[in-house]
Amino acid sequence: MFVTTIGLEVHVQLRTRSKMFCGCPVEFGAEPNWCTCPICLGFPGALPVMNHEALRLTVLTGLMLNCEIAPLCKFDRKNYFYPDLAKNYQISQYDRPLCARGALALHGSAYPKDAQKSIATIDKQVPLVRIHLEEDVAKSFHFETSTGIDFNRAGTPLMEIVTEPAISSPEEAFAFLTALKQILVYGNVSDADMEKGQLRCDCNVSVRPETQQELGAKIEIKNMNSISGVRRALAFEIERQTAALARGETLQQETRGWDDDAGQTFLMRIKESAHDYRYFPEPDLVPVKTELLLEEVRPRVPELPHAKRSRFMREYEVSDYDAGVLADKVQLAAYFESAAKGARKPKNVANWILNDLQSALATSGRTISDCPIPPEALDELVALIDSGKISSKQGKDVFAEMFASGKPAAVIVRERGIEQVSDSGAIESLCEQVIAANPKPVADFQAGNTASLNFLKGQVIKLSKGKANPQLAGEILERKLRG
Ligand code: ADP
Ligand code: MG
Ligand code: ZN
């Protein structure tokens, strides 16, 4: 039997307005080389200036992941030559990362749907090695006979999160990235959109015989850009390595790429010798004490998804599953809370959000952030239904009009004159008319055919032009027919 070990190195683009060491804007999709200046183009003599918001966002991430925060923030130069690195060194952190240790919990909902029933370790904690801050490099574009370089990305703040080799399966790696992405979005640290390259990941994976103590040869799969791709690449790689070991081959440390279309990894390079980056302290940046930063950041630590989910279950009595879906996206959670705050039955509010609202948003191509129904207005609609003023069927029509026009529920109900009649005197007289006009169904009911009651109830509602409260109509009819 073979054992799998996985460790991830995740790069996250931070959500700052300007770059790490200059005032250039951080923009996605701007004209190539538009967001540049002598500092991020690496002109000799240009001096870096630290972006404190990037430090705060990194510290915030550290706090959300229970890391130890270094008392002093110091940067180092990592020296190497590459066309996308104009200075010939990258400003990074070597021996004193801003955050160390800490862990991320893998709760069930973070796993792929098809794997949620067979989770190996419930609520597993994946320990982290470190989180550090560095600057991103420029981006190369390879054309037919030339290569172009876009420096817009050069010098943008990049946070690197490194896990211990403690992930045991592709499904756990999937859960790790899903949970991490969720926390980054919750903390407003990054949009963490893998398609836009805001979250990039290198996967290290090795396989060894169960009887062997030390880890197997580390194979690194570079530059993964989707969470499902990570799962598939790891599954492929584990199978490939296991088969090789089973054939008696020995594996050696190497770097591979992932071909998503072919569903295969391919060899990029075999590790020649250890790189020598000649790290040394960045002389142009003064180390910063993190004490003040910590004070500023602590109030920004949000309630995390898992805690929110438990609280929703406790405070609003929604099911485990519903609480999970609501807490999954921070804006949806906020919408639910505003709508459910004053509600008599918050559970009904949750149902409307999870069913009707979600599907209306999906069909109209909107998200909760540009929802045409404000949360308070949804609460008002649910209250109208819960109090019996309109039926739930009428509620659906009112909802559709609210979604289309943005009008409040009460206005629509008034305009349409559909307020439900719950006045028992009025319904009683309708029932009497229906009984008098339908001797056959009445006799059927009295002979034991209970289904006739539904027919009679339908007649009452028809006579009321749909306004009679169906439950009340049923009760009154039954009382009269049995009496
Ligand atoms: P490097 O210095 O080559 O980047 P590190 O030891 O810093 O290597 O590890 C980088 C990543 O690889 C970490 O996430 C770590 O958990 C993981 N890792 C290290 N050794 C192994 C291994 N043998 N198998 C799987 N993952 C590993
Ligand atoms: Mg590495
Ligand atoms: Zn710049």
One digit per residue, the tens of pLDDT, for the chain of length 483 reads: 899 999 999 999 999 999 999 999 999 889 999 999 999 999 999 999 999 999 999 999 999 999 999 999 999 999 999 999 999 999 999 999 999 999 999 999 899 999 999 999 999 999 999 999 999 999 999 999 999 999 999 999 999 999 999 999 999 999 999 999 999 999 999 999 998 899 999 999 999 999 999 999 999 999 998 999 999 999 999 999 999 999 999 999 999 999 999 999 999 988 766 678 999 999 999 999 999 999 999 999 999 999 999 999 999 999 999 999 999 989 999 999 999 988 889 999 999 999 999 999 999 999 999 999 999 999 999 999 988 788 888 899 999 999 999 999 988 988 887 777 777 788 888 899 999 999 999 999 988 888 889 999 999 888 887 778 888 888 899 898 887
For 264, 360, 473, the CA distances from 386, given in Å and listed in that order, are 55, 21, 17
85 φ, ψ to 5°? -130, 90
Euclidean distance between CA atoms 137 and 135, whole angstroms? 7
Residue nearest to atom 9 of ligand 1 (CA): 7
How many of the other CB atoms lie within 10 Å of CB of 355? Answer: 10
* Cβ of 265 below 6 Å from ligand 1: no
Instruction: Point out the ligand nearest to the CA of residue 277.
Output: 1
- Give residue 9 CA to ligand 2 midpoint distance, Å: 7
Question: What pairing do the DSSP bridges indicate for beta strands 254-259 and 219-224?
Answer: parallel
Nearest ligand by distance to the CA of 24: 3
Task: Evaluate: CB of 254 within 6 angstroms of ligand 1.
Answer: no
User: Does the Cβ of 218 fall within 6 Å of ligand 1?
Assistant: yes
Nearest CA, atom 4, ligand 1: 9
Q: Which ligand is nearest to the CA of 34?
A: 3
| Angle made by CA atoms 364, 419, 441, in degrees to the nearest 5 | 105
Which pTM does this prediction carry?
0.85
Q: 3-state DSSP: the chain helix, strand, coil percent, rounded to 5?
A: 40, 20, 40
CATH 1.10.10.410 in the chain, residues?
424-482
Q: Give the environment of ion ligand 3: residues with CB less than 5 A.
A: 22, 24, 37, 39-40
Q: Which of 140, 105, 109, 137 is nearest to 124 (CA)?
A: 105
d(CA 381, CA 444): 39
Residue 9 CB–ligand 1 contact under 6 Å: yes
Instruction: Tell me the CA–centroid distance for residue 116 and ligand 1, in Å.
Output: 27
Which architecture, in CATH terms, is 424-482? Orthogonal Bundle (1.10)
Question: Residue 474: helix, strand or coil by DSSP?
Answer: helix
What is residue 109's DSSP assignment? G
First to last CA, the chain: 76
- Residues 275-311: tens digit of each pLDDT: 789 999 999 999 999 999 999 999 999 999 999 999 9
| Atom nearest to 217 CA in ligand 1 | 23
Hey, how many other C-beta atoms are within 10 angstroms of the C-beta on 370? 9
Which of 279, 280, 324 minimizes the C-alpha distance to 111? Answer: 324
Using CA positions, which residue lies closest to atom 20 of ligand 1? 218
Nearest ligand 1 atom to the CA of 9 is 14
**Alpha carbon of 43 to ligand 3 centroid (Å):** 10
Give the whole-angstrom CA distance, residue 90 versus residue 92.
6
CA of 443 to the centre of ligand 3 (A): 88
Distance 329 CA to ligand 1 centre (A): 31
Q: What is the distance in A from the centroid of ligand 2 to the CA of 24? A: 29
